[in-house]
Structure 1
Amino acid sequence: MEAKIYNQRWWLSSCDSEALKRVISAELNRAGFTILNFVEHYFQPQGYTALWLLAESHAAVHTFPEEGKSYVELSSCAASLLEHFDRYLRDAAAKQQWQVTTS
């Protein structure tokens, strides 16, 4: 296998940590990623960071409550899985009524 990493970044108009965790976990699974580990941290007085260790690399979410948005990043050695996740995340975000922008 050629050493290659694909990256994608999104901004979501949500800071709901539980919803973000649920949606991102579900769509990583749906896209075909293998979740090896998960870790999260709640900042005081506000803010949330979560990391998914994947067999295919990693994903992260960081909330910015003061701006009402969250940053999601996914790195993967499997371009097709990343493309699936992008489509599934956008669909899930629309159902949650979150706006999605890419950077």
Structure 2
Amino acid sequence: MTSCCDVTSTGTLPAVDAEQVAQLCKALAHPARVQLLCYLAAYGACYFGNLADILPLSPSTISQHVTILKDAGLILGSSDAQRVCYCINPERIGQLKQLINAL
């Protein structure tokens, strides 16, 4: 019987962009950010006020989480005259999926 650790190593690391994986995983390292991302993926574009309604957190805390997701490129924000509308960035989500699959 073989164990899962009985694999032959080639001695080389797989071709994974470790910096990108780490950056994206860090952005997703809080349940509130995962929930925000899932909400935007399910419902499309959303104004900040609506995001503040879906989590039992203060608007300033949600704003901090949104900023982290934006800085990682996972969500996009566009402003109209008085409000900011957020949506997922499908290209960056696609990159995240590719990076995770490469692990």
TM above 0.5: no
Tell me which protein shows more helix as a share of its residues: 2
Q: TM-score, normalised by structure 2?
A: 0.28
Q: TM-score, normalised by structure 1?
A: 0.28
Which structure has more RCO (C-alpha within 8 Å, separation ≥ 6)? Answer: 1
Q: Decide which structure has the larger Cα Rg and report it.
A: 2
